[in-house]
Structure 1
Amino acid sequence: MVALLVLLAAAVAVVLLAPRTLAAGRWQVRMPRLALGLWLTAVLGGIACLIGAGIVGLVLAIAGSGSESGAAGVIMTVFAWMSLLAVGGTVVIVASGSAEVLDAVRRNRGSVLTLPHTVHVAASDWQLLVCDTDEVFACAIPGKPHTVAVSAGLVRELTPAQLRAVVAHERAHLSAHHELVLRLADLNLACMPRSGAAQRLRRSTSLLIELAADDAASRRAGAVHLANALVRVGRATGDVTVELRAERLAQRPCRLAGRLTPVAPVYERAVASLR
């Protein structure tokens, strides 16, 4: 019984406190990877507590009053079944939210992949698509192979160095499995759509994965090139947050640019093929 109470309390604490804690303050902007790691740890910890509570509740419910008699046995049995029902209800809510999130993911992917496009790079693990549209965008689509899609409008807007930085940014999303993190945040929001904490956590997660990808792309392609690309994209799309990300990079270009990693030949071929 004590184990069941502890597991349920831990699960509730994670659901209620983790979003508030991880979305508070400004430290996440400086250390986005750490913030994302803590967020994943909290989510997985909460899931583990729920699974554990379900198992313990099932064991207690089956045992019934075998170890207790009278009122104590009845209370234990009723509480165990109630806990099991609560865990089961949570599973149903999560399953429903998962279906909603997956539907949204499929729609978003379809909206990009159904555009007229040309494959400019087809490597063993990823491909680069250029979509024939004047809209300015770039996105990462996980799969086999992973896909980076950029628009013809973006290609016209950026220099080769800036375009290389944008492609590196999108590939950073793929290598770090950022879509999975974002799905978890979407699922959390789908399960608690009226929760202010869930809404803040979804916004924070969306920003953090962009900042983490910015840092990775800066090390590969240069903070100056990525910052300039973000400024151009922000002006073309009217997205103020993109320009704020550029300002963040501009405040520390030397530290990031001082440890550039070599650019793979496939990046050079990818950018060259777009010109």
Structure 2
Amino acid sequence: MTVSLALLLLGVLAAVVAPRLMSRAEWPELEPVVALWVWQCVVAAVLLSFALSMIFSAAAAWGAVRGHVFAPAPQGVMEAYALGAHRPWSAVIAVVLASGGLWTAAMLSREIHRARRRRRQGRKDLLVRSPVLPGEEPGGAPLVVLEAERPDAWWLPGTAPQLVITTAALRRLKGRQLDAVLAHEQGHARARHDWLRHCSGALANGFPQVPVFAAFRDEMHRLVELAADDVASRRFGRRTIALALVELNEDRGVFGPGTTPDAQVPQRVNRLLSSVPRLTAGRRLRLTAAAALVPVIPLIIAFGPGLRALG
């Protein structure tokens, strides 16, 4: 029971403290790819803590579960966890956490279903605006050009991602700016940023009161754009992608007073034009390694008593 409570408290502590620590840090703006990795490790540690707490609570509450969990373990290992005490509380914790797990799976399934529906609708709308010519296959073209007066470019995720760009964007973008925009969208496709958005959205919608999940969703929407900007800037230069963003968005009022849905665009442009250097390779490596160790902490807490009993 002690191990189960420790894991539960660890999950709650990480869910509350991690967003505050990340919001105070300045380096995620410089290294969005590393920041994406850190966020994924933190969320994985929270979910793993709750899952292990559920397993140990269920093992303490019901003998049938205990027999399955500790079937190959010696008797001394089971005794090290003191699973016979506080059975009513163990049952309550196990049921609550199991309900949370089922709710998480339901939210993720709903998010995937909605994403697939949006994707199908998007492809249907694309076929209406850009009909398939004789001899072509629907969704076969990796690049689709649409006749439109508004400059825009986006990508449709799926097994065969498609890049969509309007004729107004082709007229607006000059020189290598078009290549930079296409590289930005290809960066989204290669990194499968759509899955990060689906998972973060499912967790935030399912548990809106949990700080780490809400922050995870908000940061995913911001960091994936910064990461794609960096992909394009490494090939075509930071100034090129910054000017391309201005050309695509200056008619939407995002650079004027007031707030708009694309309010992050000016921040992205300022970031690209700033001269703040990236973190050193050594610090990036240390942050990556430290983040990878975060999900190991609940594993140490979970298996520590058993390993000590075996030793």
Q: Same fold (TM over 0.5)?
A: yes
Contact 1:101-1:190 at 8 Å conserved across structures? no
For 1:39, the equivalent position in structure 2 comes to 39
Structure 2 counterparts to residues 153-232 of structure 1, below 5 A? 153-194=168-209, 198-232=213-247
SS at structure 2 position matched to 1:52: helix
SS in 1 for 2:208: coil
**Alpha-carbon distance in 2 for matches of 1:12, 1:100:** 25
How many Å apart are 1:245 and its aligned residue? Answer: 1.1
Task: Could you list the structure 1 runs, at least 4 aligned residues long, displaced by more than 6 angstroms after superposition.
Answer: 64-68
Instruction: Please give the root-mean-square deviation of Cα atoms over the aligned residues, in Å.
Output: 3.3
Please, which moves more after superposition, 153-162 or 169-178? Answer: 153-162
Deviations 1:91-134 (A, max 9, x none): 13213322442244235434532222378xx9xx9822223433
AA at the equivalent of 2:45: G
Q: Match for residue 50 of structure 2?
A: 50
Shift in alpha-carbon separation, 1:199–1:126, aligned structure 2, 3 A: farther
- Residue 198 of structure 1 and its aligned partner are, at CA, apart by 4.5
Give yes or no for the alignment of 1:105 onto 2:115.
yes
Q: Name which of structure 1's ranges 225-234 and 245-254 shifts more when overlaid on structure 2.
A: 245-254
Is the partner of 1:88 in helix, strand or coil? helix
**Compared with structure 1, are the counterparts of its residues 200 and 135 closer, same or farther at alpha carbon in structure 2 (3 Å cutoff)?**
farther
Unaligned runs of 5+ in 2: 68-77, 255-262, 279-311
Compared with structure 1, are the counterparts of its residues 194 and 8 closer, same or farther at alpha carbon in structure 2 (3 Å cutoff)?
A: closer
CA distance in 1, matches of 2:93, 2:22: 28
Cα displacement (A) at 1:8:
1.3
- Of the candidates 249, 268, 273, which is equivalent to residue 250 of structure 1? 273
Instruction: Write the distance in 1 (CA, Å) between the matches of 2:111 and 2:225.
Output: 20
Q: Where does residue 106 of structure 2 map in the other structure? A: 96
Query: Using the alignment, how far apart are the partners of 1:41 and 1:141 within structure 2?
Result: 27
Task: Tell me the amino acid that sits aligned with residue 59 of structure 2.
Answer: V
Q: Deviations over 1:16-70 (max 9, x none)?
A: 22233223343321121121111000111122222222222222222289999xx
Q: Percent identity?
A: 27
Q: Does 1:127 align with 2:142?
A: yes
Contact 1:223–1:249 under 8 Å retained in 2: yes
Gaps of 5+ in 1: 256-275
Structure 1 counterpart of 2:157, from 122, 138, 142: 142
Instruction: Say whether the 8 Å CA contact 1:100–1:190 is kept in structure 2.
Output: no
Amino acid at match of 1:106: R
Aligned to 1:268: none
Cα 1:218–1:29, aligned 2, differ >3 Å: closer, same or farther?
same
Q: How many Å separate the matches in 1 of 2:13 and 2:110?
A: 25
1:195 CA displacement: 5.5
Q: Deviation at 1:199?
A: 4.1
The separation in 2 between residues aligned to 1:146 and 1:248, in whole angstroms, is: 28
> 2:222 is matched by which residue type in structure 1?
L
1:117 — aligned with what? 130
Q: 1:158 to 1:110 in 2, by over 3 A?
A: farther
Q: Normalising to structure 2: TM-score of the pair?
A: 0.69
Comparing 188-197 and 43-52, the one that deviates more: 188-197
- Count of aligned pairs: 249
Distance 1:18 1:184, change over 3 A: farther
Q: CA deviation at 1:254?
A: 9.8
